[in-house]
Each structure stands twice: as structure tokens, then as C-alpha cells.
Structure 1
Amino acid sequence: MTEHTAPDSPATDSWTLANAKARLSEVIDRAQAGPQIITRHGKPNAVIVSVEEWARKTARKGTLAEFLLASPLRSADLKLERVHDAPHDELP
């Protein structure tokens, strides 16, 4: 990963916070091709991605019920016993 520092630098995916602020339009344009990492004090701090990438990464891939029904443990015939201990005292 290379740091983007000058307008004539080759395409990159990492920007200092100062450069990202100064060239936000370019950061956003480049995010259409791939994630853009913003660094602060030399450490990765944030990532800018396209709306399409965000939607793809955050899309729900089914319901919890579908996940549980598809579990390989569904037919494992597990024998579980519930513990009927008294509840713990509440903290003061």
C-alpha cells in the first residue's frame, strides 16, 4: 500500500487525512474503483468505498431462521439439559 502525496503520483489506495481533505473529490472518484484508506498519524483510520461496494458488503444474506435451518447441527440429535439454578443476586 502506497501513500498518496502528490497530484502526479500513481494511483493508490491510501491517503493521509490532510491529502484526503484537500482532494476529497479525487478520493471519492477513486473509491469507485476500490476502497480508499485514510490514515491519521501514519495508521489506517477510515475507509471510503463506493455506495455499490457498501451495499454489497452490508446486504443481508438471509434470515436468522434460514441460517439455523441450514445448520449442519440441525440433525445432530444433541441432548441439552437446562440448568435450573437460582438467579444471581443483583449488584447493589
Structure 2
Amino acid sequence: MTDHSTAPDSPATDTWTLANAKARLSEVIDRAQTGPQIITRHGKPNAVVVSAEEWSRKTARKGTLAEFLLASPLHGADLKLERMHDVPRDEMP
């Protein structure tokens, strides 16, 4: 059975034991459409099932590296960086 625990930012979060999640995978996936489903192993959180839409939203790139660097509060700062001039490592066989 699921433990209907509620996370503050995700009212539809359910917790499943690994055995219950395996036995009721279809239900876990259905419920993931409304909120994250936590799967525990040995009583500890081990995995989270989320909808494909939520995964896409969380992993979507939010701009380029150049845009990130240009938005930095250090952009335009006159930083003096020293680089180490070590010799390269030997190639591994």
C-alpha cells in the first residue's frame, strides 16, 4: 500500500515500497501524472518516478553557457587569474 505522505511543494506525492511499486507499476505511473512517486528500499528513499512532462520541464536547458556567463554578477569584473603551467600527464597505455 502507499503511504500518502505530503511534501510541502507537492501535495500528490506518494511513497511506495519497492515491492509494492513493482507489483503496481501501472498505478505508480498513473499517479506520477499528478505528483512525484517516491520508491523506498529498506525504508529509505531510493528513486522517484515523475511524469515525462515534469521530467522535461525540470531538465530543459534554460539558455546557453554564454548567456549564463553574460548574466553573471562577475561579468565585466577585472579579475586577475593565474594559470598553472604544469606539464601534461603521460598517456595511459
Relative to the length of structure 2, the TM-score reads 0.76
User: 1:28·1:48 contact (CA, 8 Å) conserved in 2?
Assistant: yes
Residue identity matched to 1:74 = H
Deviations 1:48-76 (A, max 9, x none): 00000000010001111111111110121
- The number of residues matched between the two structures is 86
SS at match of 1:37: strand
Rg: which structure is higher? 1
SS at match of 1:61: coil
* 1:17 and 2:18 aligned: yes
Q: Which runs of 5+ in 1 are unaligned?
A: none
Q: Give the Cα–Cα distance (whole angstroms) in 2 for the partners of residues 19 and 83 of structure 1.
A: 54
Relative to the length of structure 1, the TM-score reads 0.77
| Structure 1 residue 82: Cα displacement | 3.0
When the two chains are superposed, the root-mean-square deviation of aligned CA atoms in Å is 2.6
Q: Percent identity?
A: 78
